[in-house]
Amino acid sequence: MNPASTPSSGWDTRELDRHAMAWALELAGTVRARTSPNPWVGCVVVSADGQRFEGATEPPGGRHAEMVALAAAGRAARGATLYTTLEPCAHHGRTPPCAPAVADAGVRRVVLALRDPDPHVAGAGVAALAGAGVEVSEGVLAGEVADNLAPYLKHRRVGRPWVVLKLAVTLDGRIAAPDGSSKWLTGPEARADVQRMRAESDAVLVGAGTVRADDPELTVRAEPAPADQPLRVVLGRVDEGARVLPAIEAEGDVGVLLDELGHKGVLQLLVEGGANVAWQFHSAGLVDRYVLYVAPALFGGDDARPMFDGPGAPRLEQVWRGRLVSLERLGDDVRVELAPLDPQVRDGEEA
């Protein structure tokens, strides 16, 4: 999508709002790996005479999306409609508040997808805009934006990171050979996708057993290199000289660890195995997304390591069932993304 192709006549307001918000969401996506612990926000300003200006959140300490778009619009902001994926802020953080700046620029109408659950904002931005006489429309593409911003929303609501469990498996559900080795099960396309997910994550976690078996570095090597490498976290103790060092060596309850990582501003934690770590997170119901890279390969026996090291569902009625989020071919491998069923649905079924 680009500004020039945006139709401006023959569409009703609802369609134009959705179209401009979809574009704002695309802009947000371009800065996904560079804003944490702040949200990645996209903004489009459409002037009264149909000119379009864009903005996306700058790295922490930099300008918010609305300020970038307003600066691009200059005087054309007067009488314009401003589309933003997240409610403009109303507080002084590292940067001055957006909502008063939007009103001062003479914007006539603000269209937003979601309110900002950060306790510093939480409706104060909408109130400031409405108080200054700016018309506010909420909820446009709310579902799409909520999916995109899920790690940020969870962090601000419950104080814990969004947990992605990533495992590379053979088609017979095994993640490592009997000797524990597991490198290079999947091909280059799948490994590039892991690099992308690492770049989007603020912390990467593995078990000490995986460190001993594979000696991983757990860094982002994809270009462009991120400003900050993700924090490296190991469950258990690591031998001196391991390539993963320096790392946080954690012990004890993983729920407490999530609270601690949330406190450090970790919005997304990528859990990369092995089987015992996967079991700890899965059995405690702490995984928000399961990403499995399935290789067209079979260990072909019962001695290779399974995905989960620990007791599973004892009876068929207790089998874990998820929702298929996406299914994609990556080279010779298949990427499967699953989400836990909506808690309300699970509660409903149990009732």
Cα(263)–Cα(104) distance, rounded to whole angstroms?
A: 35
Q: Which of 31, 27, 33 is nearest to 53 (CA)?
A: 27
Using CB under 6 A, which of the segments 81-89, 133-141, 168-176, 260-268 binds ligand AOF?
Answer: 81-89
Which residue in 36, 57, 268, 280 binds ligand AOF (CB under 6 A)?
A: 57
Q: Which does 121 bind (CB under 5 to 8 A by kind): Zn ion, ligand AOF, none?
A: ligand AOF
Which residue in 25, 46, 82, 89 binds Zn ion (CB under 5 A)?
A: 89
CB of 152 to Zn ion, least distance (A): 14
| Contact track, ligand AOF, 92-131, x by CB under 6 A | -xxx--x-----------------x-x-xx----------
Q: Which of 33, 247, 232, 62 is nearest to 151 (CA)?
A: 33
Q: If binding is defined by CB under 6 A, does position 210 make contact with ligand AOF?
A: no
Cα(92)–Cα(41) distance, rounded to whole angstroms?
A: 17
Q: If binding is defined by CB under 6 A, does position 200 make contact with ligand AOF?
A: no
Q: Which of 186, 175, 172 is nearest to 305 (CA)?
A: 175
What residues between 279 and 338 interact with ligand AOF by CB under 6 A?
none
Nearer to ligand AOF among residue 46 and residue 121 (C-beta): 121
Cα(226)–Cα(224) distance, rounded to whole angstroms?
A: 6
* Exposed e or buried b per residue across 57-79, where buried means at least 16 C-beta atoms within 10 angstroms of its C-beta: bbebeebbbbbbbbebbeebbee
Nearer to ligand AOF among residue 33 and residue 185 (C-beta): 33
Q: If binding is defined by CB under 5 A, does position 64 make contact with Zn ion?
A: yes
CB of 56 to ligand AOF, least distance (A): 8
Cα(137)–Cα(279) distance, rounded to whole angstroms?
A: 44
Q: Which does 93 bind (CB under 5 to 8 A by kind): ligand AOF, Zn ion, none?
A: ligand AOF
Q: Which of 177, 155, 159 is nearest to 168 (CA)?
A: 177
Catalytic residues: 66
Which residues contact residue 259 at a Cβ distance below 8 angstroms, ignoring those fewer than 6 apart? 159, 160
Map residue 232 onto helix, strand or coil.
strand
Residue 28's H or E segment, with its range, is: helix 13-30
Q: If binding is defined by CB under 6 A, does position 65 make contact with ligand AOF?
A: yes
Q: If binding is defined by CB under 5 A, does position 126 make contact with Zn ion?
A: no
Interface residues with Zn ion (CB under 5 A)?
64, 89, 98
Interface residues with ligand AOF (CB under 6 A)?
38-39, 41, 57, 64-66, 86, 88-89, 93-95, 98, 116, 118, 120-121
